[in-house]
Amino acid sequence: MIIVKSPDEIDIMRRCGRILVAVLNKLRIEVKPGITTRELDSIAIHEMEARGGEPSFKNYQGFPANICVSVNDEIVHGIPGERVLQDGDIVSLDAGVKLNGFHTDAAITVSVGKVSQKAKELISVTEGSLQAGIAQANCGAYLGDISAAIQGYVESKGFSIVREYTGHGVGRELHEDPQIPNFVVGKGTLLRKGMTLAIEPMVNAGGWQTKLAANRWAVLTADGSLSAHFEHTIAITDNKAEILA
Ligand code: MG
């Protein structure tokens, strides 16, 4: 069931989203060769708590960290640890914040030092596909319009869109209905004012197929190619979508 939020609820999510944006902005600055993924996790929890937020991901289905940090061929759900970021890596930072009973969820992919032209292009196309999807997220349009815009954008640039993992509704729960595939599966749900959605294209430089890492959390590209991930939490309004985080 899709839960439509009231203006007051969206206002809480707006404040929650500001915390999350501040966390990701801080992490973006701190990413550099030599830092460990665990250090990024520590910075994230410090920033969240300093602003009165809680980490949505901690213990979610048993997830053992505060944020997801996924490097190179890791698509999503990387567990922060001892891994040291190297010049030329790309790193996806996915975080969720809970405030006053509501969640927001967002992700960015960042270059570590100097990266390849291919990696730069992958990051730029993934972010562009998220913008293309959000441009369709209007009252009266359908969920499938978002999916089609994302898939069309990514494939026109020669990259592939992950199919096994999708965006989702977000708000009282971290994951609510509806699922938001980043590829076309049909017309989908009619978008109505007050829906709050986490749209999150995951884009691979090679094929779209994925595999699970030995730790059963991190999702990897099946062919070892690079992957990037961008996510915003948005609210459907009378006009164009409002980005909450
Ligand atoms: Mg998400």
- What does the domain layout of the chain look like in residue ranges? 7-243
Evaluate whether 163 touches 183 at the Cβ level (below 8 Å). Answer: yes
* pLDDT band, very low/low/confident/very high, at 111 (cuts 50, 70, 90): very high
How much distance in Å is there from the Cα of 166 to the middle of ligand 1? 8
In eight-state DSSP terms, residue 139 is T
Reported as a single tens digit per residue, the pLDDT across 159-193 is: 999 999 999 999 999 999 999 999 999 999 999 99
Q: What is the mean pLDDT of the chain?
A: 98
How much distance in Å is there from the Cα of 36 to the middle of ligand 1? 23
pLDDT of residue 138: 96
How much distance in Å is there from the Cα of 198 to the middle of ligand 1? 6
CATH 1.10.3720.10 fits 7-243, yes or no: no
Q: Give residues with Cβ within 8 angstroms of 99, minimum separation 6.
A: 12, 15, 16, 19, 52, 53, 54
pTM over 0.85: yes
pLDDT of residue 56: 98
The dihedral formed by the CA atoms of 106, 135, 13 and 69, expressed in degrees to the nearest 10: 0
How much distance in Å is there from the Cα of 104 to the middle of ligand 1? 9
